[in-house]
Amino acid sequence: MFYRLLYPLHESLGAFNVFRYATFRSALAAFTALVLALVLGPWLIDRLRQFQIGQEIREEGPASHQAKAGTPTMGGLLIITAIVVPTLMWTNLANPLVWIGVGSVVLFGGIGFLDDYLKITKKRSLGLRAGAKFGLQLALGAGIGIVLLVLSRHGLWETHLQVPFLKTFRPELGWLYVPFAMLVIVGSANAVNLTDGLDGLAIGSTLIASGTFAILTYAAGNAKVAQYLGIAGIKGADDLAVLCLAMVGASLGFLWFNCHPAQIFMGDVGSMALGGGLGTVAVLIKQELLLVLVGGLFVIEAASVILQVASFKTRGVRIFRMSPIHHHFELSGWHESKIVIRFWILALIFALLSLATLKLR
């Protein structure tokens, strides 16, 4: 919005030419998102308390979590607002990639909102049935994949796969790109959702991942940088850096209230929006496989659940004391803050490794 209003003024006043650069607008988006989150946070917390929208804690979880019962939840509404508003303010709204990314954040957040709403109204820790939730996620992921497939038919998109470490190996997926995109986006949404279990864990890890994707989106949108690094150059991808840094600012602002002891939880509305958004950005810049490394912590959390369920159903034996794996360490005697900080360090290591792969091709 402001990009369209302010950039044309550069013809009469050269200083406005700065709005041409995605890097400048991305920084503005991050700052705007941070301020929005910090300003609206206390108001939202008060309103959630007023309407008695509190977290239900499952009885089989760690005993220490029972003290968190009643903490305001659905804080993801704050996160989504702090992401979408700055993105629309500072990005190029004529770019279809931006609308796909923003739409993913909002719609996956909508699925999470429905899940949270049912939890609150039913006064239990389970909302949507797993089949219904997964079905909605798959439908949304398929919709995004189909939109990209249509764009590819008009020469605006490519359905090849970019493989890390292999610069020239880019297999063409064709219509198979739709189920592949579904897998990436839905997997990302659920992985972030599973990571959200300790104060500040999911939002801090998302901050690191979205910051990493801000770098990747800028690189993909700059033809010279993309060619130098041997990655897919995507026209307009630099505008996605605005979205990614808005996610960074929103995450940082929300972390102010979500750090231990948390004043508010993001709920599924937040974790679904963040995970779906990250997965969609990865698809849009052709870094779907690198997402596994960028979000390595999320992968570990999701894998711990899969392994736990598979082991118990096939052998009747639990691998971990409790899954996701952060609860295993909690039941092993680690303090919550220690787990969160160490997992953040692990997320940062994964982020640095993923950026290092850009030259190992």
pLDDT at 163: 87
Length of the chain: 361
Comparison of pLDDT for 57 and 36, the residue scoring more: 36
Question: What percentage of the chain reaches a pLDDT higher than 70?
Answer: 89
Indicate the pLDDT class of residue 120, thresholds 50, 70 and 90. confident
Confidence check: pLDDT of 277 > 70: yes
Task: Please report whether residue 13 resides in a domain.
Answer: no
- Give whole-number Cα distances, 320 to 61, 125, 315, 333, in Å: 13, 21, 14, 14
Q: Is residue 17 part of a domain?
A: no
Query: How many domains does the chain fold into?
Result: 1
Is 194 exposed, middle or buried (CB count within 10 Å of its CB: 0-12, 13-18, 19+)?
buried
Q: For residue 185, what pLDDT band results from cuts at 50, 70 and 90?
A: very high
Q: Is 9 contained in some domain? A: no
Pairwise CA distance, residues 149 & 156, whole Å: 9
Q: How does pLDDT run across 221-261, given as a tens digit for each residue? A: 998 999 888 888 898 899 999 999 999 999 999 999 999 99
Q: Is the peptide bond before 96 cis (omega within 30 degrees of 0)?
A: no
The residue range of the domain holding 113 is 22-359
* pLDDT value of residue 122: 73
Q: How far apart are CA 195 and CA 205, in angstroms?
A: 9
Average pLDDT over residues 265-279: 97
Is residue 352 a part of any domain in this protein? yes
Q: Is residue 1 part of a domain?
A: no
pLDDT at 14: 52
Token duo for residue 77: 């509404």
pLDDT bracket for residue 275 (50, 70, 90): very high
Tell me if 2 is assigned to some domain: no
pLDDT at 50: 87
Is residue 149 included in any domain, yes or no? yes
Q: Is the pLDDT of residue 85 over 90?
A: yes
157 pLDDT band (50/70/90 cuts)?
Answer: confident
Q: Which residues contact 282 (CB under 8 A, 6 or more apart)?
A: 184, 188, 213, 288, 290, 291, 294
Mean confidence (pLDDT) of the chain: 89
- Is residue 104 very low, low, confident or very high in pLDDT (cuts 50, 70, 90)? very high
Left, alpha or beta for 55 (phi > 0: left; psi -120 to 50: alpha)? beta
The residue-averaged pLDDT of 328-352 equals 95
Q: Does 28 fall in a domain?
A: yes
pLDDT tens, position by position, 52-65: 776 665 555 565 55
